Amino acid sequence: MLAAVYKGKKNIEIRNIPKPEIGDNEVLLKVKACSICGTDRKIYEYGHFKIKEKNEQILGHEISGVIEEVGKKVDYYEKGMRIALAPNVGCGFCEVCRKGLEQLCLDYNAFGISWPGGFAEYVKIPEIAVKHGNLVEIPKSLSHEEAAVIEPLSCCYNAYESLNVRPGESLLIFGAGPMGILHLILNKHLGIGMTIVTDVDEKRLKLSQGFGADYIVKSDSGIKKTIMSLTNGIGVDNIITAASVPEIQEEALELVAINGKINFFAGLPVGKEEIKLNSNIIHYKQLKITGTTGASLKQFRQTVKLSQNAGCNLKKIITKKIGVEELSTIFEDISVFNNNMKIVVSFER
Ligand SMILES: [Zn+2]
Ligand SMILES: [Zn+2]
């Protein structure tokens, strides 16, 4: 099978490797689409602690496909089932897993990181992932390309749940990249009120048009004035920081309404993770600040359900489709990522 094999920092080789063989309790998934995540770009640049140096790996964790083969002892799953794959698999035994938060398990595995991922024609699904239910059936109304975007959308849904967003509330999203826009799509779909998207980059702001934001504003020194005038001086009910910039986390406290909520969605770069927080603002405005990372299996399944009707337009965010052979060079070309929302590796072309 054709695969994009990651061989270490800045080195991906396209080559033919043997199709995986499955055991009695495993499943073979034929990949139809796998979207590129910021994490894939990070691994390409800097490596990952779960991928030992000199070890090869197939990246890609935003995977959809069709079941090709089912092990003799596997119940329920059948050849031909259309699937979105939840990539994170917890140990299943620790306290965190028992709370249903397997994505936070310290002993986790993930497709495209510790296990071979979706930048290849086939992915073997190990027994533990089959038994945990990581193979999630998708409805016909969802294309494979849209299903690949379920994974990042499920991370947005985790943020949505943590904020306890109420219908009609207002929302400010820092960051007009693919994740920021997925937050916008999700919250619009689930009944948010006024939405504002902000970014420092004019080009990104332009790209973010057409996804339903009520206001798209440039993030500059006048941002507070702009937001206050858009909200009658009240501030915004919900703020999501979807860019890895320390200053916006500090700024969010100034822009949020009394009794408002903030989600620190994007992590900060190593060495820049200490920020200045005016704790009295949190106290006197009675704020709620949450952090989220990844999504639980339950949230992943819920995201499949909520995206299946036409009101959730995921198609639009996929602005580029490439073949697996293009993965050897695409990460070198920053402009491709600057000029696009989601880029999907398609095996259906
Ligand atoms: Zn991802
Ligand atoms: Zn665990």
Q: Is residue 296 part of a domain?
A: no
Of 228, 229, 227, the C-alpha closest to 216 is 227
**pLDDT of 205:** 95
pTM above 0.85, yes or no: yes
103, 171: one domain? no
321, 258: one domain? no
15, 141: one domain? yes
Can you give the CATH number for the domain in which 99 is found?
Answer: 3.90.180.10
Alpha helix (H) ranges present in the chain? 38-46, 95-98, 127-132, 144-148, 150-163, 178-189, 202-207, 223-230, 246-255, 279-284, 297-306, 327-330, 334-338
Of 165, 136, 166, the C-alpha closest to 300 is 136
Q: Is residue 300 part of a domain?
A: no
**pLDDT of 349:** 59
Token digits of residue 315: 């198609």
For ligand 1, the distance from its centroid to the CA atom of residue 34, given in whole angstroms, is 10
304-329 pLDDT per residue, tens: 999 987 667 899 999 999 999 999 99
For ligand 2, the distance from its centroid to the CA atom of residue 102, given in whole angstroms, is 6
The mean pLDDT value of the chain amounts to 96
47, 134: one domain? yes
- Nearest ligand to the CA of 293 is 1
216, 114: one domain? no
**pLDDT of 75:** 94
Q: Is residue 308 part of a domain?
A: no
Can you give the CATH number for the domain in which 225 is found?
Answer: 3.40.50.720
83, 216: one domain? no
Q: Does 141 score more than 70 pLDDT?
A: yes
Q: What is the band of 297 on the pLDDT scale with cuts at 50, 70, 90?
A: very high
Q: Is residue 86 part of a domain?
A: yes
Q: Is residue 304 part of a domain?
A: no
**Domain region containing 61:** 2-149+314-346
- Nearest ligand to the CA of 295 is 1
- Nearest ligand to the CA of 152 is 1
How far apart CA 254 and CA 247 sit, in angstroms, is 11
195, 70: one domain? no
175, 243: one domain? yes
179-205 pLDDT per residue, tens: 999 999 999 999 999 999 999 999 999
For ligand 2, the distance from its centroid to the CA atom of residue 132, given in whole angstroms, is 12
Domain count, the chain: 2
**pLDDT of 53:** 82
Q: Is residue 309 part of a domain?
A: no
For ligand 1, the distance from its centroid to the CA atom of residue 153, given in whole angstroms, is 9
Q: Is residue 302 part of a domain?
A: no
How far apart CA 304 and CA 2 sit, in angstroms, is 28
229, 122: one domain? no
For ligand 2, the distance from its centroid to the CA atom of residue 294, given in whole angstroms, is 15
For ligand 2, the distance from its centroid to the CA atom of residue 40, given in whole angstroms, is 24
Q: What is the band of 241 on the pLDDT scale with cuts at 50, 70, 90?
A: very high
76-133 pLDDT per residue, tens: 999 999 999 999 999 999 999 999 999 999 999 999 999 999 999 999 999 999 999 9
183, 287: one domain? yes
Q: Is residue 274 part of a domain?
A: yes
Token digits of residue 114: 């510790």
